[in-house]
Amino acid sequence: MKKLKNLTKQSEFYVFIIIVVLSIIIQARSGLFFANNNIVDTVRSMIVPSIYALCALLSFVSTGPDVSFPLIAALSTYLALITTNALGMGESMVIVFVFAIVYGSIMGALNGIIIVKYKFPSLIVTLGTSSIFSGILLGAFEAERMDLPAGLQRMGKASLLSVKNAETGLGSTLPMTFLILVALYVITYLVLNYTMVGRGVYAVGGDEVSAERAGFNVKKIRFGVFTANGAIAAIGGVCYAVMSMRYLPTEYAGGEMIVIAAIVLGGTRMAGGVGTLKGCILGTLLLTMVSNSLILIGISVYWQKVFIGAIIIIGTAVSALQSYGASRVKSKVKEAA
């Protein structure tokens, strides 16, 4: 019973219920939601946003919003591709990822240095750096769409799972990048929950002063988070290129707001210190479902943004009121005692 009570306190639980209800409605109206190809399609379109969601989660839990990950992804992928092409190492896909991670970490570290050293709001800093990265990518390099090296192309063509819907004849494949997603989540889960550094990420976001007194190095942890964010964003960027079979420099920007909305719906607290990977996945799933499946129940595409906006507002309002209510109860308890 107590477990159930705890469950209803989490926003993840409500998101889960909304997802179930929505999927039943879509299934009832169209009969296509639980079709194998639709499920694989939904998972497929969740891969890149879920990777980005990790960046958003880490930065929110420890410091504040990070909006630079789409452009870090775009620029590091571009740099990795031209480096591998120049070195003639296009045969190996691992090399591209390694280069991208290195470049991404450097860009993330730049964010980290500015945020940690001057204690500026991370939103403003990352807005500034993403503008810089976009200037470098499209202005200095004049990046254009380009084909992938052989290694990545092979990766893009390979598939883990290929399904075909017997009724509609529509097929769908699950790309190899899904494995990368799973690996990233497992690693992040282990680091966040079973290492000192991981607990430090939560501690720093919860209360900076207490974390420092408890012996955590606040500056190092924040710097580390933003560097890691750069690396994760870079992996997401290469995955995006692999899945679209081509590098498209202008397609990256603009995804950040939806990702942030997804993780906040999943229960990540804006003020820091609270947020789970479970919530990341559920929030991303909900928004992916809304943008992919509204068509299935006959709602015109025009209404998509209205729905997404309404879901964000209602979801955040619920969690904001919840946390406000919790703080009021706490202060009442204090007064009584």
Partner 1 sequence: MMAKIKKIDANILRLIMILIVFLIIACVTQPTNFMKADNFRSMAKQMTEYGLMALGVGVCMISGGIDLSCVYIANLSGITAGLMMQSMSTTSSGSGYILLSVLVAILVGAACGIFNGFLISYLRIPAMLATLGSYQLFMGISIVISNGSTVSGIPEGYTMWGTTLLAGIPFAFVVFLICIILLSLIMSKTRFGQKVYLVGTNAKAAKFAGIKNNSVLIRSYMISGILSAIAGLLSLARINSAKADFGSSYTMQTILIVVLGGVNPDGGFGSIPGIAIAVVILQLLSSYLNMFPNISNYYRDLIWGVALIAVLILNFVTNKRKQARLAKAS
Binding site residues, partner 1, CB under 8 A: 65, 114, 118, 120-121, 123-125, 127-140, 142, 254, 257, 260-261, 264, 270-271, 301-310, 312-313, 316-317, 320-321, 324
- In the complex, least distance from residue 199 CB atom to partner 1, rounded to whole angstroms: 25
Q: Residue 274 Cβ, how far from partner 1 at the closest point, in Å? A: 13
Side-chain-side CA neighbours of 106 within 13 Å: the count stands at 11
Residue with smaller CB distance to partner 1, 89 or 124: 124
Using the minimum distance from each CB to partner 1, give the nearer residue, 27 or 316.
316
In angstroms, what is the minimal distance from the CB of 288 to partner 1?
A: 15
> How crowded is residue 304: how many other Cβ atoms within 10 Å of its Cβ?
15
Sign of CA dihedral 104, 108, 110, 113: negative
CB of 52 to partner 1, least distance (A): 15
Query: Which of residues 108 and 151 has its CB atom nearest to partner 1 in the complex?
Result: 108
Least separation in angstroms between CB 132 and partner 1: 3
CB of 320 to partner 1, least distance (A): 5
Compute φ and ψ for 32, nearest 5 degrees: -110, -10
Q: What is the smallest separation between the CB atom of 89 and partner 1, expressed in angstroms?
A: 29
Angle between helices 69-87 and 256-265 (to 10 degrees): 120
Longest distance between any two alpha carbons in the chain, whole Å = 71
User: Which is nearer to partner 1, 87 or 313 (by Cβ)?
Assistant: 313
Smaller CB distance to partner 1: residue 176 or 308?
308
CB of 18 to partner 1, least distance (A): 15
Measured distance CA(244)–CA(246) in Å, rounded: 5
Would you tell me how many other CB atoms lie within 10 Å of the CB of residue 122? Answer: 25
- The strand ranges marked E within the chain are 146-147, 159-164, 171-175, 246-247
Token pair 């799973």 is found at: 182
CB nearer to partner 1: pick between 83 and 316 = 316
Burial of 9 (0-12, 13-18, 19+ CB in 10 A): exposed
Q: For residue 49, what are the contacts with CB-CB under 8 A and spacing of at least 6? A: 255, 258, 259, 262, 284, 287, 288
Least distance between partner 1 and beta carbon 224 (Å): 21
CA gap 46, 239 in Å, rounded: 12
Cβ neighbors of 74 (< 8 A, separation 6 or more) are 133, 134, 137, 143, 237, 249, 252, 253
In the bound state with partner 1, the residue whose beta carbon lies nearer, of 19 and 253, is: 253
Name which of 36 and 291 has its Cβ closer to partner 1.
291
Name the residue nearer to partner 1 (CB basis): 191 or 251.
Answer: 251
Evaluate whether 211 touches 272 at the Cβ level (below 8 Å). Answer: no
